[in-house]
Structure 1
Amino acid sequence: MLRILYLFCLLFLDIGLLPVRAQLAQSLRIEIPSDPDKAEAFDVTPLAERGLLMTIRTGSFLDNTPIKLSFQKYDVNLKRLWQTEFKQDIKFKPVSTYDTDQYVYHLFREYDTGQFQFLRLHLDDGVIDTFDGNLLDQFDVRQFKVMGSQAYIGGYHHGRPVVVAFSFFDRTMKVLPGMYVNHMEISSLELDEARQEVNVLVHSIRRRCKFSIRTYNYDSKLLRTVDFDGAKNSLISGKLLPVNQHESLLVGNYSTDCTPYSQGIYVTRIHHGDSVNTLANEPINTIQYIEFSQLQNFFNYLKPQRQQKLLARAQKKKDEGKDYKFRYKLLVHDLKVTPDGLTLVAEVYYPQYRGNTLAYGGYLRGTDRYEGFRYTHAFICGFDKQGKLLWDNCFPIKELLSTDLTEMVQVSQQSDRIILAYPNDGEITTEVIQGSKILKESEKFKLRTNAENEKVTFSTQDNLMAWYGRHFLACGFQKIAASTKATVQRDAVQREVFYLNKLTYSEENQGAKSSQATIRKNDGSER
């Protein structure tokens, strides 16, 4: 059975002034029958007040069955507005997708050749355009984005990094210069729509682990290169956020031993130069390195006694003059703009093997079969526009194992408070924070069917995504059976569906009584 669920998710929830009672309410739901014996994939793209786009792909390159894409647009009441289909040549296999405000793009390639095909779907009317072109043979694609009438594809060719710009206008291809070297990896590919620039963040995998930002204009000309020496601290990843016409903030995680395991996060300001001919700009100021132990709430996912032992052990090592390193693997989200500056969200995870256990500051690898990625917690940090750390908080993630390394925690910035949420096993867990304070502790909401005499017996590939206003979407696969007051029988007939739930984050003011509500701080005290 081949089923892949691609989702582009953000969470936007409206919440009024606290104190309030807030909860998720399920308002609408649609179900599409799913056959576990067929190759099929469902992709949901929220379009805010314009509705949503659902893409259903059937067929598979692997078993030589024809591939068909069914695009269906729905309004906010989950009523279908239009539907169109596209039959793909069997020689092409899907590689990646990317969406903008106006279009959804699909990237296909012919197996073991340099022949690629781009599909562009117009979100207003469903009109489809395709663009064929030759890129590179044996091109291992890792990134795919579109700006204007050009696609940017990043990946590896014979083990060396390459970024290709493909023009939809004349079907020509350009290789961005200065990147095809040994022992270097692409960290991220970021588009600056305002400046019409492409930023390629790369890092070396040799000793010293140099990290670089290479900026190209729309014509694929190299404009600037910013290098960071990794002799002491090596930058693992980075996210760029423009703060004005000439400056951006670079935020990410770093390592002290040139490995993928982080010891903390960093932030610095980047100057873009007054001339497009500047080739060697430097950070405006020195990099600010923040160890995990310097974050007030990073370890709050642990039980208090275990947290105290961990921090006491680290402090004892430091008092003895020894170096104690916390080692974590991070999945860093894109930076979020706030009125004060920005927020950084990262999820902490480790590869899960059957029989392995989480260790202090890392993991112990078991000797049995690999199972997936185990998430332990997410942490969120607020910075001002100069890159100064203002606050940090923690969101524990319990019993979440994913076969794919994807962003599970969703974030909604509402004025000076933030709602954090993640889906798991047919439930959604939420928490409301305000800076370093927890305004509303974790609560769970269980997804239901529309019928009272039915019960969800199994749920998988659960996802949460933004929609509009106070509404958002939950979707995934479920098995459903008829239920009674007694436990559902094991041999009962079950149906399998792809579900799509419209949810509303509602709130109810509690009046004078709730004006005395307790706000709990992360140290367990009350005020």
Structure 2
Amino acid sequence: MAKVRFVLIFYLLLFTSLAFAQEPTQPVRLELPFNRTENSVEVLALPDSSLLVYHKTSNAWNTKADFYFTKYNQKLEQVWTTSVDIPPSYDFVRHYTEMPYTYLIFTGDIPEEYIFTRTNSINGRTDVKKYKLDDIEAIHEFNVLQGNYFLIGHNRFSQKPLLLHLKPSEEKPKHLPSVYGEESTFSDMLADQENRRLDVVLSESNGRVSRLQVKSFNADGELLGNHFILQQNDKSLLNAEITPGDSAQKMLLGTYGTRDLRYTSGFFTKPVSAVYNTGDFYSIMQLKNFLKYMKPRREERTRAREAARLRAGKEPLYRFRILLHDLITTPTGYILAGEAYYPQYRNNSVSLPLERRQAFMQNTEGYKRTHAVAMGFDKKGNLLWDNTFPLKDVASMELVHTVEVARAPDGRVIMAYPDQEEIIYHIMQEDKFDDKEHKLKIMTYNENEKAQATEDPGIIKWYDNHFVAFGFQRIKPSGAEYRTVFYLNKISF
């Protein structure tokens, strides 16, 4: 049986200490009797401040499995639970929530066959339906607009990007129109529920220059509008996130490059409906804190070197690749966050600095992060502030987000990622840079218990200034037998 206990009540008694008052608290913990061998688990935050936990329990041969959805409130108390009938070979791949429903996609042994579930967050009722998607190889993005599905993946045969629209009542999806070049990739997909439209940002390149294309569709997959976003010859628009709003208000916030389109030279903002040659551009050297992940002397030398190269009309030497996060909308504007990374190659025996690493014809073995950044903009796209979170020994085998980013109601930007039994976090107050490393140990039920091992740790933003950390743990109480659990700890910043 799952147990919920309130922990760290003593934090409420420590207001006399400023340090403790500023440290995140862990007011409640939930332990589920799961183990990594038999259970796979996904934790999903819902817009109504609840959690939806999906878990699959299977045998060692994966020939028998049970699938469950359980909803928990803000105190991690169970609201309802339901089971669904899905073949044991299927595994979770994507989800999306359009209240009151949460949709999950599962894939099995046959690549073109997918199962979609729709769960009502109010009562737990779940519908299950199987689809055959012949053309798509893998689903990379999934949005829902007024109950209709929009899917991004790669064409199974041409390997080019693919955008599909699927009505739940129909058996086959339809291909949505777009222009796909050899170097085309999807940069963003946003289901704008208020304006009843779905916007897709496509990055197109011929290897020498790059542009963005924005296509808008209604819930039935009908094309509402198409914009080609061009810029002057010395700047190529690489990737961008799109804002919600009507067509006249929509903006793009993203990255731009110059000669080498693999690397980011800076960031830009631009109205979607604007004419050619408009927009605001902010080079990396203009940003106050972007280089603060370096030691002070190294940052000083880098800035001096790049300023000299700029005066001489030369290209910069710095080499940054940026993985953008979903745009955060604030009451007064937007926050754009991203992770600076570089590929690690199988044959590299020496780790060169980011600015000097060259990409040879080698197989990528992972992606290492140097820092995460956040930038605040007003509604017109003017840069208000920027800040940086230095990342140490953070890497991923696939190019996925490793840091969770959220904005608290008081305006703080919170970044966090798991590291075994700890959460490494950073709190940004606009452009006030903090170079200290902040760690929070995941608390167990009692102080005399010890987490002997943590596997598959994770953390997601939940609601307001609250996150939830989770993972599998082996817990050893003092004088008692160990237990293996899947934990969920509420973390309040």
TM bin, normalised by shorter chain, reads: 0.7 to 0.9
Quick one: distance in 2 between partners of 1:26 and 1:457? 20
SS in 2 for 1:313: helix
Residue 431 of structure 1: aligned partner? 426
Residue 26 of structure 2: aligned partner? 26
Q: CA deviation at 1:114?
A: 4.1
Quick one: distance in 2 between partners of 1:93 and 1:456? 28
Q: CA deviation at 1:127?
A: 0.6
Residue 57 of structure 1: aligned partner? 56
**Conserved? CA contact 2:195–2:245, under 8 Å:** no
Q: CA deviation at 1:381?
A: 1.1
Distance 1:322 1:93, change over 3 A: same
**Conserved? CA contact 1:74–1:81, under 8 Å:** yes
Map 1:317-332 to 2 at 5 A.
317-332=309-324
TM-score, normalised via structure 1 length: 0.79
Residue 190 of structure 1: aligned partner? 190
**Conserved? CA contact 1:32–1:499, under 8 Å:** yes
**Conserved? CA contact 1:239–1:252, under 8 Å:** yes
Q: CA deviation at 1:117?
A: 2.7
Q: CA deviation at 1:454?
A: 2.0
What stretches of structure 2 of length at least 5 have no aligned partner? 1-17
Map 1:140-289 to 2 at 5 A.
140-157=138-155, 158-171=158-171, 173-179=173-179, 182-207=182-207, 208-229=209-230, 231-242=233-244, 246-257=248-259, 259-271=261-273, 282-283=274-275, 286-289=278-281
Distance 1:313 1:455, change over 3 A: same
Q: CA deviation at 1:500?
A: 0.8
Please say if 1:68 is aligned against 2:63. Answer: no
Please say if 1:334 is aligned against 2:317. Answer: no
Quick one: distance in 1 between partners of 2:253 and 2:193? 19
Distance 1:366 1:181, change over 3 A: closer
**Conserved? CA contact 1:426–1:460, under 8 Å:** no
Aligned AA for 1:412?
A: R
Residue 14 of structure 2: aligned partner? none
Distance 1:248 1:137, change over 3 A: closer
**Deviation per residue, 1:297-352 (Å, 9 max, x gap):** 10011111111122222223234432214221212112222233111111112234
**Deviation per residue, 1:135-193 (Å, 9 max, x gap):** 33453322211111210111122223221111123445322123466543222222222
Quick one: distance in 2 between partners of 1:107 and 1:444? 35
1:412 to 407, 411, 415: 407
Residue 81 of structure 1: aligned partner? 79
Distance 1:356 1:81, change over 3 A: farther
Residue 106 of structure 1: aligned partner? 104
Distance 1:425 1:216, change over 3 A: same
**Conserved? CA contact 1:432–1:441, under 8 Å:** no
TM-score, normalised via structure 2 length: 0.84
SS in 2 for 1:88: coil
Q: Which has the higher contact order (CA 8 A, sep 6+)?
A: 1
**Conserved? CA contact 1:433–1:440, under 8 Å:** no
Quick one: distance in 1 between partners of 2:212 and 2:372? 25
**Conserved? CA contact 2:145–2:197, under 8 Å:** no
**Deviation per residue, 1:85-138 (Å, 9 max, x gap):** 123125655432222331221223464564433111111111111233333345
Please say if 1:466 is aligned against 2:461. Answer: yes
Residue 129 of structure 1: aligned partner? 127
Aligned AA for 2:123?
A: D
Residue 10 of structure 2: aligned partner? none
Q: CA deviation at 1:373?
A: 2.9
Map 1:10-49 to 2 at 5 A.
21-38=21-38, 40-47=39-46
Aligned AA for 1:451?
A: N
What stretches of structure 1 of length at least 5 have no aligned partner? 1-17, 272-281, 485-491, 506-527
Residue 396 of structure 2: aligned partner? 402
Distance 1:413 1:30, change over 3 A: closer
Quick one: distance in 2 between partners of 1:458 and 1:93? 25
**RMSD of aligned C-alpha atoms?**
3.2
1:359 to 336, 346, 353: 353
SS in 2 for 1:237: strand
SS in 1 for 2:392: strand
**Conserved? CA contact 2:388–2:433, under 8 Å:** no
Quick one: distance in 2 between partners of 1:241 and 1:150? 21
Distance 1:66 1:289, change over 3 A: farther
**Deviation per residue, 1:332-387 (Å, 9 max, x gap):** 11222223311111111223457442514364679999663322211111111111
Quick one: distance in 1 between partners of 2:90 and 2:176? 25
Quick one: distance in 1 between partners of 2:189 and 2:218? 13
Q: CA deviation at 1:423?
A: 2.9
SS in 1 for 2:304: helix
Residue 477 of structure 1: aligned partner? 472
Aligned AA for 1:472?
A: F
**Conserved? CA contact 2:404–2:460, under 8 Å:** no
**Deviation per residue, 1:267-314 (Å, 9 max, x gap):** 10122xxxxxxxxxx448613222111101100111111111222222
Quick one: distance in 2 between partners of 1:66 and 1:414? 45
Distance 1:138 1:247, change over 3 A: closer
